[in-house]
Structure 1
């Protein structure tokens, strides 16, 4: 079983509890401006998790579909008490269960890219994004900045959440940034999870996105819209569109 099939369960919600709705609201506020999202815009939240960003998009009046592979995270998304009309679907990002040109926009947030070892598998995700967007439609891919990860990686961190000790160990293995998460309860029970994301340079991402048929309009270094800097930006946020037929 691949790491991403094991790691996105109930314990994931504990480890990433700090990623709350306020972060999502702030990010979506900027995304909406960049992609011109609003009332009636059909948006796919690709790898939606618990639906934090999906709900924020829906509050703007977008017609939102959220897709994720994790049944646990989708269950949490569907349990929201807000009646926002969001459609949640389980599926693999490499083979999206939607017809061609289904959406006005696709957003892929919180480093939900680079999960696969082979470049060809990651490229499939981009080709699927292109396939399901209408001509002239928009996309956003929020990815890590390889150089910032290499420079700022914290090898180990530890914290307590109630009676659970959360130990995170991080390292670089070639083109991959890896993490081991060890959860230890007071009585000694341990659970261990792995994360492994393939890092790409700006040039590699640009080449892959271009090959998929998507057109990049802008690369930002954060959700404030700062221009991307290889040495200083924390993120690589790509925004662009599917060209219209000529």
Structure 2
């Protein structure tokens, strides 16, 4: 049997169930948790994360005693985070990052880790998000986020065929995720099809399909976008260690003041 979920459900039951197991292999260690944790410590005040998900990064900050707010549009991802029993200094809000209002709360640091900004597909959505960020920044506050740096030898393709990218065991099942990618270069979109194959005792019992899109950005596109939104002191790095930007590392790290 094959179950399919499209964009609206990308962080629904399938993704939320396997998210931590998948990205403990794919993402760690990348240096991003340490990067955002240091920014939070240096900010000397409350922190807001957009797209906090299951708390992979935010919990590492909140457990240091820093007051945190985690915002995410997926109730299921937030439910996973709540089951981890976060400290009382961590508040969770279910809202879209391009349309949120936290009242009078202001933050010296707002960040959107692990490619979250790439779920904003249009310039209108991106500017709406940046406007929300600026409204919620304390005077002199900083906004930080990361996206991947497009690698030209990859995005010249029209399609990447399905391949296995992670394998793990969970709830007495073996889970193998296969991912295929289609590129829409006119819209600067990657369209991913992720198939989670579930097996027991060597026999495939189910396939669950999740399809999602990710917008890719070029360096000066991001700089222009941030300046247009009213940000200043825009810095672009090529890694979480502060290295100069290039297209080799695959990372684009952005910091700006509101």
Q: Does 1:211 align with 2:228?
A: yes
Kindly indicate whether the alpha-carbon contact (under 8 Å) linking 2:223 and 2:234 is maintained by their aligned counterparts in 1.
Answer: no
Indicate yes or no: 2:14 matched with 1:11.
yes
Could you say if the C-alpha distance between residues 18 and 185 of structure 1 is closer, same or farther in structure 2, counting changes exceeding 3 Å? closer
Aligned to 1:168: 179
Write out per-residue CA displacement over residues 61-109 of structure 1, whole angstroms, 9 at most, x where no aligned residue.
3210001011111001111134352001100111112136621110100
Q: Which structure carries more strand by proportion?
A: 2
Q: Does 1:37 align with 2:41?
A: yes
User: CA 1:95 to 1:73, structure 2 compared with 1: closer, same or farther past 3 Å?
Assistant: same
Alignment partner of 1:237 is 2:250: no
Q: TM-score, normalised by structure 1?
A: 0.85
Which stretch of the first structure deviates more once superposed, 72-81 or 110-119? 110-119
Structure 1 segment 49-198 matched on structure 2, within 5 A:
49-99=53-103, 102-147=106-151, 150=155, 155-158=161-164, 159-161=166-168, 162-174=173-185, 175-186=188-199, 187-198=204-215
Which stretch of structure 1 is more off in the superposition, 127-136 or 38-47?
38-47
Contact 1:137/1:241 (<8 A) preserved: yes
List gaps (5 residues or longer) in structure 2.
none
C-alpha spacing 1:203/1:28, structure 2 compared with 1 (3 Å): same
Bigger drift between 190-199 and 16-25 goes to 16-25
**TM-score, length of structure 2 as denominator length:** 0.81
Indicate conservation of the 8 Å contact 2:20/2:54, yes or no: no
Q: How many equivalent pairs are there?
A: 239
Q: Flag the 1:100–1:227 CA change in 2: closer, same or farther, 3 A.
A: farther
Report the Cα offset of residue 38 of structure 1: 4.8
**Closer, same or farther in 2 for the Cα pair 1:38/1:25, shift >3 Å?**
farther
Provide the alpha-carbon RMSD of the alignment.
2.8
Displacement of 1:166: 2.0
Q: d(CA) in 1 for partners of 2:227 and 2:75? A: 32
Gapped regions of structure 1 (runs ≥ 5): none
